[in-house]
Amino acid sequence: MSICAARVDERMIHGQVAMVWTNVVGANRILVANDDVVKDDLKIEGLKLAKPAGIKLSICSIQRAIENLKNNKYGEDNVFLITRNIPDMANIINGGVDLKEFNVGNISSKDGSQQIKKSVNVTPKDIEIIKDLINKGIKITAQMVPNEPDSSIMTYIEK
Residue 43 falls in the annotated catalytic set: no
Looking at residue 159, its pLDDT comes to 63
- For the beta carbon of residue 90, count every other beta carbon within 10 angstroms: 22
From 1, 11, 14, 154, the catalytic residue: 14
The answer, yes or no, to whether residue 151 has pLDDT greater than 90, is no
The overall average pLDDT reported for the chain is 93
d(CA 24, CA 17): 10
- For the beta carbon of residue 1, count every other beta carbon within 10 angstroms: 15
What is the dihedral sign for C-alpha 60, 3, 140, 22? negative
pLDDT digits (tens, 9 = 90+) for 86-125: 999 999 999 999 999 999 998 999 999 999 998 999 999 9
Cα 94 to Cα 34, 62, 136, distances in angstroms: 15, 11, 10
Query: With left for phi above 0 and alpha for psi between -120 and 50, is residue 112 left, alpha or beta?
Result: left
Which residue ranges form the domains of the chain, and what is each CATH number? Answer: 2-157 (3.40.35.10)
Cβ atoms of 33 and 92 closer than 8 Å: yes
